[in-house]
Amino acid sequence: MTAGIIDGRAVSQDVRAEVAREITAWVAAGRPQPGLATVLVGEDPASAVYVANKRRACVAVGIADLHRHLPADATQEQVAQVIAELSDDPAVSGILLQLPVPEPLDGKALVNAIPPEKDVDGLTAYNAGLLATNAPGLRPCTPSGVIELLDRYGVELHGKEAVMVGRSHLVGRPTARILLARNATVTVAHRFTPDLARIASRADVLVTATGVPGLITPAHVKPGAVVIDVGITRTEHGLVGDVEFDAVKDVAGLITPVPGGVGPMTIAMLLRNTLLAAQLQQDR
Ligand code: NAD
């Protein structure tokens, strides 16, 4: 059997087009244009590229680009002051602090200074708490992208065995919580899990986010399982995921490639979250 390939680029284009249509209708109804403030501290080249991509994607769907750039030597107070200004600015629907911030800034404290209704990355402790208690709120973008892919490919989660490999605040934990909220039976594995193959091969839906290339082999995959690879590692052969793709695609039923799987979904879900944030603020 050869797995079906999940086309994250195509799904992300669909989501972007839907968000663009919804924003057009939102503005046509006389409501204020949604705006995203990306906040970049310092000159890290990778962060600069990520932020530039987010800004471009915003403009393409009709979200105002309200970017702020601070120097690498900005103090905690200066960054907090910018976040406070953006928090009070009604033109700003969403605030995204690009992580990591330069040493010695405390990125976690700065993220938690973002008001929950403008936290389009879904990373504040408040929004993590809403997710943990299964209350509505802004969810982290990459986990939302994983679920969006599963939904668009008609993957049933209710009553299924799901295994999440990785337990980071950014990806693993929130993804596991969303899968649980969707009535999957969820196991979370991590670097201290012995015999990962035994655990992972139980999964009907296997999601991996470790950054360990080749971690997931055919021995980790139940025949016919859905395999979602969040991992992205830059190697001399280009970008690779956590999954031994060529071997695992002969076992899995559906699989995401790297690149072109989960990766493109993150920005698409950021755009969706920015619209959702504007709607949440309008409703208050
Ligand atoms: P992280 O380093 O914070 O967490 C990695 C997790 O993997 C940890 O929970 C750790 O316990 C687990 N782990 C490490 N080695 C393991 C092993 N041998 N067996 C089982 N578990 C193991 O990383 P993160 O921020 O969650 O990111 C994970 C990967 O996802 C990275 O490759 C990152 O680049 C990628 N990522 C992609 C996107 C995207 O597609 N847009 C977004 C975020 C992260």
In tens digits, what is the pLDDT along the chain, a chain of 284 residues? 799 999 999 999 999 999 999 999 999 999 999 999 999 999 999 999 999 999 999 999 999 999 999 999 999 999 999 999 999 999 999 999 999 999 999 999 999 999 999 999 999 999 999 999 999 999 999 999 999 999 999 999 999 999 999 999 999 999 999 999 999 999 999 999 999 999 999 999 999 999 999 999 999 999 999 999 999 999 998 999 999 999 999 999 999 999 999 999 999 999 999 999 999 998 77
109 CA from centroid of ligand 1 (Å): 22
Nearest atom within ligand 1 for CA of residue 241: 32
**Token pair of 274, please?**
């920015």
CA dist 164 and 226 (Å) reads: 12
pLDDT given for residue 159 in this prediction: 98
Phi and psi, residue 147, nearest 5°: -70, -35
Q: How far is the CA of 186 from the centre of ligand 1 (A)?
A: 17
Ligand 1 atom closest to residue 233's alpha carbon, by position in its atom list: 32
CA-nearest residue for atom 32, ligand 1, is: 211
Judge if pTM exceeds 0.95. Answer: yes
In the prediction, which pLDDT does 142 show? 98
The amino acid occupying position 123 is: L
Q: Directed axis angle between helix 141-152 and helix 263-283, to 10°?
A: 110
Q: How far apart are CA 114 and CA 82, in angstroms?
A: 10
Which CA distances in Å does 258 have to 202, 224, 240, 241, 269? 23, 19, 6, 6, 18
**Amino acid found at 277:** A
Instruction: Report yes or no: 282 and 249 within 8 Å, Cβ to Cβ.
Output: no
Determine which helix (DSSP H) or strand (DSSP E) holds 23, and give its type and residue range. helix 8-28
Instruction: Let me know the angle formed at the C-alpha of 92 by 100 and 71, rounded to the nearest 5 degrees.
Output: 40
| Distance from the alpha carbon of residue 195 to the mean position of ligand 1, in angstroms | 18
The torsion of the CA quartet 271, 273, 279, 281, rounded to 10 degrees, works out to -120
- Residue 190's closest CA among 204, 205, 176? 176
Give residue ranges with CB within 6 A of ligand 1: 142, 165-168, 170-172, 189-191, 193, 196, 209-212, 215, 230-233, 262-263, 266
